[in-house]
């Protein structure tokens, strides 16, 4: 089972403020609405390297859904990625984020790392209780600064110590 690396956009790849000059400002139109976004063009290479080194598959877990492939991927150098549909039902059952249930249904026992800025202990609890979820690591990204090399190292360490090269969870 190939592990997954799940990516949010806002607060993770698109921080709330420019924390360094490496971030570039872009104006995009999504569903007729203009958005100003900040992206570090180096993110793509770093995420592709993480996936290659750990045998993981990158996927979008963002309310941008398919717009992430159209607007984010080309600006940071990511290929077209699978998208988890997360906006069909915005309700919460037990206080979990609206994206958590679709993610739990999508992973189908595959180990995963999830970079997000909105997850809480309720999401952790929901995922632990979900029968289709195995090993996972939630990486809380500060939305003011976005994804950092430290977050990528956390993911790399967890994936290489928790998941075998064949994708099996190691005891």
Domain edges within the chain = 4-13+41-162
The DSSP result for 111-136, as a single string, is -EEEEESS--HHHHHHHHH-TT--SE
Predicted pLDDT at 112: 98
26 forms bridges with which residues in the sheet?
Answer: 37
Using CA atoms, how far apart are residues 27 and 141, in angstroms rounded to an integer? 23
Instruction: Express as a percent the part of the chain with pLDDT over 70.
Output: 98
The residue ranking higher by pLDDT, 170 or 149, is 149
The contacts of residue 142 (CB under 8 Å, 6+ apart) are: 117
Instruction: Give the Å distances, CA to CA, from 120 to 97, 102, 115, 116, 129.
Output: 8, 16, 12, 10, 15
CATH number for 4-13+41-162 (one of 3.30.70, 2.40.128, 3.40.50, 3.40.1000): it is 3.40.50
Using CA atoms, how far apart are residues 46 and 22, in angstroms rounded to an integer? 14
Q: 47-81 pLDDT, tens per residue? A: 999 999 999 999 999 999 999 999 999 999 999 99
Q: What is the mean pLDDT of residues 81-91?
A: 90
Examine the pLDDT at 171 and tell me if it is beyond 70: no
CA within 13 Å, CB half, 68: 26
**Two structure tokens written together for 145:** 């600064």
The contacts of residue 57 (CB under 8 Å, 6+ apart) are: 2, 3, 4, 5, 51, 82
């Amino acid at each position: 089972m190939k592990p997954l690396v799940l990516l949010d956009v806002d607060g993770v790849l698109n921080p709330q403020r420019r924390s360094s000059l490496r971030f570039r400002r872009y104006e995009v139109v999504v569903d007729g609405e203009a958005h100003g976004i900040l992206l570090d063009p180096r993110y793509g290479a770093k995420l592709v390297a993480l996936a290659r080194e750990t045998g993981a598959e990158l996927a979008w877990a963002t309310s941008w859904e398919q717009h992430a492939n159209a607007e984010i991927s080309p600006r940071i150098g990511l290929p077209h990625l699978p998208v988890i549909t997360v906006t069909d039902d915005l309700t919460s059952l037990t206080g979990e984020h609206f994206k958590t249930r679709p993610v739990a249904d999508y992973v189908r026992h595959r180990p995963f790392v999830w970079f997000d800025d909105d997850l809480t202990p309720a999401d952790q609890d929901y995922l632990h209780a979900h029968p289709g979820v195995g090993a996972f690591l939630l990486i809380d990204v500060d939305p003011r600064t976005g994804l950092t090399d430290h977050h990528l190292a956390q993911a790399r360490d967890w994936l290489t110590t928790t998941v075998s090269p064949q994708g099996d969870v190691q005891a």
